[in-house]
Amino acid sequence: MVVALIALAPFIAALLAPWITRFAGPMAGWILAIVPAAIFATFLSFIGPVSDLTAIQAGLDWIPAYGIRFSFFIDGLSLVFGALISGIGTFIIIYSGGYLAGHPHQGRFFSYMLMFMGSMLGLVLADNIFTLFVFWELTSITSFLLIGFDHSRQAARRAAIQALIVTGGGGLALLAGLIMLTLITGQNSLSGMLASAGVAQQSGAYLVAMLLVVAGAFAKSAQFPFHFWLPNAMEAPTPVSAYLHSATMVKAGVYLLARMNPVLGGTQAWFWILTVFGGITLLLGGVLALRQTDLKQKLAYTTLGSLGLLVMLIGFGTKEAVLGAVLYLCAHSLFKGALFMVAGTIDHGTGTRDITVLRGLREAMPVTFIAALLSGFSMAGFPIAIGFLAKEEMYLALTSGVWPDLLFLAVMVVGNACMMVVGLLIALRPFLGEPRPTPHVPHEGSVSLFAGPVVLGVLGIVAGLFTDWLNRVVLSPAGASIYDGAVDAQVHLAFDLLNPAIWASIVTWALGIALFWHADNVRLALRRVGEGIGWTFDAGFDAAMFGLIRFGDRVTRLLHHGRLELYLLLFFAVLAVSLLAPLIVSNSLPSLPDWPVLTFYEWGAVLIAAIGLITVVGARSRLTAIVALGIQGFAVAVIFMLFGAPDLSFTQFMVETLSVIILALVMTRLHLGKADHRELEAAIRDGTVAIAVGAGITILLLVVLQTDLDLSLTELFQATSTPIAHGRNIVNVILVDYRAIDTLGEISVVMAAGLAILALIRHRAKPESAKKPRSTRRKEKAA
């Protein structure tokens, strides 16, 4: 149960966060950070068994009838993600305490952050697909709350709604894909699907299931063409941006693709979709990052590029590519979380994030400068940093010499060079040079603000020195989970000029330095290109939403026009088609039954019912039609009684009596016209629909009567009515016991209709004097 508690602990802490914030004040962040720190320590305790490729499982029955469990499991991949989420989350919570110090809604913010953390932990630990989907959607909901935290700003509200729409739509596609995989593999758990790896690829429904799962992952991880929501999410407070981009929601799609690689990978469709779209996203994110001036926006677009890079590596699926993906996942989480916190600290200390304004902050913010240097060093992929190991391994995966590898290697080099430029710009540009005026006098942040960036920056450098530990604890177990086979990681820190991967790194550094040297000119050129194009996917989203709203408005005007007559006509027309079409298509029309032998008094009841029906149709006044309808109903009640159903007959008598009284009352109180004049065309139309509905119900009943009578329910009611329900009248027992909820619903409908009728008959046109305010009437009376 420890595994389940890991996912649920942040939610418990979220409930307590507002009270802890109220009483602990500035120390609330440090106190609440104990929860993710404890979770991180718990993950460290699983290193031993997971390194031996032993999966740890736990769970409980959720819906046993359908074999659905609230289940979790930890293997190499989920351990890496869980450690990143909880470890970086610890520093994010501490950072939030300093960044939002004094904010009136800081307690609510902590609650949102902890729920977000719990959602991501539940997602990466989930085993059952429905458990995974629940946490998948919780990440969308909690990110919506966090992105729109400053809900007084229209931009924040728009960004939150946009993220929810895109990721929520992807979630629906994912659910459909997971259900299809369950039907294909016969397994509703990830561990079961992994055990049956290779089955889905042989199915005729593989392509559809794969596309649905990939669509869900692409929407969550902001892959082209769903990339536009991620930069807009920067409207969230900086702690959210740091957590969102380093270790949480945007990595959820990458996690899903990595997890599903054994289940869906190994095909040409999987390879080309992931590599092409991942490559486009990498280039798009890298290039667009160069044209930004806002520090958070620059980092946001490099996150796009990094996600595309990870997706592309998963698409290749080789051992080297998988190891490169795991290494870069860890490296990116460390340097990106640190750099976002650095950007927030700069904004907090100067009042701006505009890189064209920021200069000379090294003396005013020395600790932040050191953290930025360490993180930018790793992001640039310079030697000894874990970022260098990641780039070497991913380049090694693409040095086979075949043309697809060379093409994607070139894409990777350009994308990495662009991200290197951004890392260097953020690490150097704000801190070097002569100081420039800023909205606030620059000052260093508190310990809460620089603790996270410093620790993560140091880890990004130091981790590259402990390659043996990385190979054994991180790369081999996680690589085996993605590759679905033993992976013996042999990553080492080396600078071998005979290795083609090092030459790819040299080209990356050369291109990156050239772009860094001309960064301002490149930015201006890219901005001119963007202005020349004039259209963005973000604008396309707005156009799509506007079109959807207009389409919905037109459909509403078409279907909800306010004419009750047409509503009823449409309803009964659809009912007629629903009754008759299946019978005609399936050729299930019944044969005509033999006419029953009736006594003279039974014939009399039938004759009265027929006379009532004819009178209703031919009546020239509403009151006559109401009375005739009651006569027809009473005749039917007599037929029920003659054929041995006195309780049903009594019910029919009551219904008909009340119907006649209420209809007559409504007609008189609403001052309706005595006659209902209709054009001939309307009468023919309505009569045709009425005959079709009547014929459909009659034919359906005849079909039912000609089937074999199943007495199993009758026998059940007879056997259980008295001993279990304590009632001898089986019909009453069915209504108030077996179908109690249904009966309650019927009573509620009748009550609602009665209240509506009461409101109608009490609604009278008030005299003009009554419409005036009481004070005005008094003055007029006095005058």
Render 440-457 in DSSP notation, one character per residue: S------HHHHHHHHHHH
Contact 168, 133 (CB under 8 A): no
| Terminal C-alpha separation, the chain | 82
Q: To the nearest whole percent, how much of the chain has pLDDT over 70?
A: 96
Polymer length of the chain: 783
Which of 381, 375, 368 lies closest to 338 in space, CA to CA?
375
* Cβ-based neighbours of 284, under 8 Å, separated by 6 or more: 224, 227, 304, 305, 308
Q: What is the pLDDT of residues 304-316, one digit of tens each?
A: 999 999 999 999 9
DSSP secondary structure string for all residues of 714-779: HHHHHHHTTTTT--S-HHHHIIIIITHHHHHHHHHHHHHHHHHHHHHHH-----HHHHS-HHHHHH
Q: What is the pLDDT of residue 257?
A: 96
Residue recorded with tokens 């014929």? 695
Sole residue written with tokens 């802890």: 20
Cβ atoms 216, 253 nearer than 8 A = yes
The first and second tokens of residue 653, run together, are: 């008598």
Residue 765: the pLDDT is 45
Which pLDDT score is estimated for 485?
84
CB contact at 8 A, 612 and 618: no
Residue 384 main-chain phi, psi, to 5 deg: 80, -25
Name the stretches of the chain with pLDDT < 70. 1, 247, 669-676, 761, 763-783
pTM of structure: 0.81
CB 336 within 8 A of CB 303: yes
pLDDT value at residue 80: 95
The pLDDT value given to residue 211: 96
d(CA 398, CA 500): 10
Q: Tell me, what DSSP letter sits at residue 711?
A: -
DSSP annotation of 58: E
Looking only at Cα atoms, what is the longest distance across the chain?
113
Name the burial class of residue 321, with classes exposed (0-12), middle (13-18) and buried (19+) by CB atoms within 10 angstroms of its CB.
buried
| Cis amide prior to 225 (ω within 30 degrees) | yes
pLDDT at 34: 95
Residues with Cβ within 8 Å of residue 636, at least 6 apart in sequence: 609, 652
In the prediction, which pLDDT does 1 show? 64
The sign one gets for the Cα dihedral 194, 198, 201, 204 is negative
Contact 453, 341 (CB under 8 A): yes
Structure tokens at 62: 């959720």
Instruction: Identify the pLDDT of residue 644.
Output: 80
pLDDT attached to residue 495: 80
pLDDT of residue 670: 62
Instruction: Quote the pLDDT of residue 780.
Output: 58
